[in-house]
Structure 1
Amino acid sequence: MSHQLKFANSPVKASNIIGTPIANPKGESLGDIKEVVIDPNSGRVAYAVVSFGGFLSMGEKLFAIPFSAFEYNLSKNQYILDVSKERLEKAPGFDADHWPSMEDEQWNRDVYDYYDRSPYWE
């Protein structure tokens, strides 16, 4: 008989994160996670790439959001993003067919600054 260790911060496959819904703290649906971007040198999750869907009426625009900006709600299997609708409407985004150069340190810093997060590499 095998026993599986389960704990709050157990590792999870990226494929289990992709497609997970995102809500605000009020429980309103914001969209879902389309991709997970990992830094190959450190192994850390750098971003979740998000589509806000109909919430912001932004079509197919995508947004790189620092993974540290999300809080996972285990009971609802969703990520909570505590950022105002007004702030999300002004967020830096990109077209699904034209991703930014994630090698650009200034772009990375700008994204982390926008969400008031410390860069994962520092």
Structure 2
Amino acid sequence: MNYEERDPYGMYKGMNSASLRSSAALSDSMNQHGGPGPQLMGADTLIGNDVVSLSDDDLGDIKELMLDMKSGHVAYAVLSFGGFLGMGEKLFAVPWSALRLDTVNKRFVLNVERERLQDAPGFDKDQWPDMADSEWARGIHAYYGSKPYADALNR
């Protein structure tokens, strides 16, 4: 299920996929349908969205969004990968900046191949890491080739 299908308030109603194909058309498309998306989106509509690699391999789906309560920024998307019917799945904290929203196909794209994600630092649903730990965060950002948003805020 994608964000348009999970939209209880109709905020994405009337979004025209064809008009979202270029970033130049984003502001025009927002004016056409009158809603906030795709530049501002409801968090609960993003839970469950598919994530694919650049080569279109299925990498899983978003299970949770982790918010930094001091800054108000989305720090990580928790991605579920592998397993069957919730058994054996592994969770990954993916830096929000490492994900790109594909508005045409209504999913997220992560610039990581399936094999690399399998080797990524992950965790079990019963043993979450301390995502506020700066050492842990540096390791995650280094793995995905992204910069911690906190570094950008301190400049």
Distance across 2 between alignment mates of 1:14 and 1:36: 7
Report the residue type matching 1:21 in the other structure: D
Distance across 1 between alignment mates of 2:132 and 2:81: 24
Distance across 2 between alignment mates of 1:86 and 1:53: 12
Q: After TM superposition, give the deviation of residue 5 of structure 1 in Å.
A: 4.7
Query: TM-score scaled to structure 2, two decimals?
Result: 0.69
Q: Deviations over 1:23-56 (max 9, x none)?
A: 11222221100000010011101000001135xx
Query: Identity of paired residues, percent?
Result: 46
Distance across 2 between alignment mates of 1:14 and 1:82: 22
Aligned to 2:102, which of 69, 73, 78? Answer: 73
Where structure 1 has 5 or more consecutive residues not aligned to the other structure, the ranges are none
More strand per residue: 1 or 2? 1
More helix per residue: 1 or 2? 2
Distance across 2 between alignment mates of 1:106 and 1:33: 24
DSSP-derived class of the 2:150 partner: coil
Query: TM-score scaled to structure 1, two decimals?
Result: 0.86
Q: After TM superposition, give the deviation of residue 8 of structure 1 in Å.
A: 4.5
Determine which structure has more spread, i.e. the larger CA radius of gyration: 2
CA RMSD between the two structures: 2.0
Equivalent residues, number:
117
Q: After TM superposition, give the deviation of residue 6 of structure 1 in Å.
A: 5.0
Question: Structure 1 residue 105 and structure 2 residue 134: aligned?
Answer: yes
